[in-house]
Amino acid sequence: MDTRVKRTQRDYTMAFKLAVVAQVEKGELTYRQAQARYGIQGRSTVLTWLRKHGRLSWGVAASSAAMPIDKTPTPLTPEQQIKALQVQLKQAQQKAQLFEAVIDVLKKDYGVRVGKKAFRQVLEQDLVQGLSVSGACRHMGISRQAYYQDRCRQAALAKRAQVVVDLVRERRMSQPRVGTRKLHCMLREPLGCQGISVGRDAMFDVLRNARLLVAPRRAYHKTTDSHHRFRRHPNLLKPGPEQVRPTGPEQVWVADITYLPTAGKFVYLSLVTDAYSRKIVGWHVHASLQTEEVAQALKVALRGRRTSQRLVHHSDRGIQYCSTYYQELHRRHGLSCSMTDGYDCYQNALAERINGILKMEFLLDRPNDLKEARQMVGESVQIYNEERLHLSLKMQTPDAVHRAQLVG
């Protein structure tokens, strides 16, 4: 606008006035800056608009606050500077006391550990600019020697953890889902050869930090048909005066059937396991649930039998186990038949457990067909029998317990 032409209030439209007022109230301009930018005549024209159309209070006190923000502040006197620094120091002390009180509450009431690890992380990541190691140690009440000793100790622990992780990954090439307790027992000798000692809880911490803990899996697929016309047999393993308790191998065998998913349709796995040694003594992978196919696992187990003592065959009440064909095998080889009371998986828990171990620890990849499934199961059964440690066997393998008892 041309400032040489004298203007009055009527020369500015209401929209223009409101736009200027909005800019000033938003803090984009001071009222003096608005007058200079738009060539508004009069020393208090914009201030008049603010008092008339603004949403804020623009009295005498407000007009003095609306002076240009770029005005050079008056230098503080030494006394004023000291007073300002005292106020800042008091606020900093209160802030430090607040954070210390919060940390104490977290420690005492919530069990939160705030110590060397967090302190070391702050220094290593340089989270506080200009903070020296000496100053930080002085604030925490520890010596520089203690800090550097802790760094050396943590470096040694990290090196030890890496050795453990490498060995665990090597073992899990053949046993992908072997648990930490068994790994602790399996790796005791290899770690000892390197002069490394790791406790069970420490190994849990190492594998947890490396995200190598095994998460449980759950799956369910019914393979048992207990509603049939064939004869059932009593449960000889059920607690009671006539309960059969195995004291060695080849006294009680448990049998079960489970499914295996493939790239095509399901195939089935029949297992016969020794209840004492936990060794899989017979297995067979088949494409159907025909009795003749299921019985192949029992035939394999009978071919490997080494004693002639009484042998109990325990299973669920599936139609295959109750059939005439399967019962004829029992009669021919002198087996005592035992069955669960109805469809209760807990009464055949050992067989169900062996199924779960094979499927959840070894058979992780889906085979393409029946031939691949048989190969995978054969390799998995061998690793299970000869390499996998059992908590119930005092960290021994099923094959070692089976052979030791038979020889003894």
Whole-number Å distance between alpha carbons of 191 and 125: 32
- Return the minimum-mean-pLDDT range out of 131-135, 323-327, 340-344: 340-344
| Global pTM exceeds 0.95 | no
Which one is predicted more confidently, 356 or 255? 255
Which DSSP string do the residues of 174-196 spell out, in sequence order? TSTT--HHHHHHHTHHHHHHTT-
Query: Is 308 contained in some domain?
Result: yes
CA 190 to CA 269: how far, in whole Å?
35
Statement: residue 158 has pLDDT above 80: yes
Instruction: Name every residue whose Cβ is closer than 8 Å to that of residue 116 and which is 6 or more positions away in sequence.
Output: 150
Give Cα 182 to chain centroid, integer Å. 19
Instruction: Burial-class residue 372 by CB neighbours within 10 Å (0-12, 13-18, 19+).
Output: middle
The answer as to whether 231 is a domain residue is no
Give the confidence band of 96 by pLDDT, cuts at 50, 70, 90: confident
Task: Say whether both 126 and 57 belong to one domain.
Answer: no
141 assigned to some structural domain? yes
What is the count of structural domains for the chain? 3
Judge whether 401 lies within some domain. yes
276 in the same domain as 194: no
For residue 103, the SS3 value is helix
Q: Which residue has the tokens 């349709």?
A: 265
d(C-alpha 346, C-alpha 8), whole Å: 98
Q: 51: part of which helix (H) or strand (E)?
A: helix 45-53
Helices 116-124/133-140 angle, 10° precision: 160
Q: What mean pLDDT do residues 297-318 have?
A: 91
Q: Is residue 199 part of a domain?
A: yes
Q: Do residues 211 and 257 share a domain? A: no
Q: Answer yes or no: is 368 within a domain.
A: yes
139 belongs to a structural domain: yes
Of the segments 70-84, 183-197, 355-369, which one has the largest average pLDDT value? 183-197
Residue 335 domain-assigned (yes or no): yes
Please say which residue of 215, 233, 264 terminates a domain: 215
- The mean pLDDT of the chain is 82
Going from the C-alpha of 70 to that of each of 30, 67, 401, the distances in angstroms are 10, 9, 89
Looking at the DSSP bridge assignments, the partners of residue 270 are: 257, 284
As a whole number of angstroms, the distance between CA 119 and CA 404 comes to: 55
Task: Judge whether residue 63 has pLDDT over 70.
Answer: no
Domain that holds residue 32: 9-65
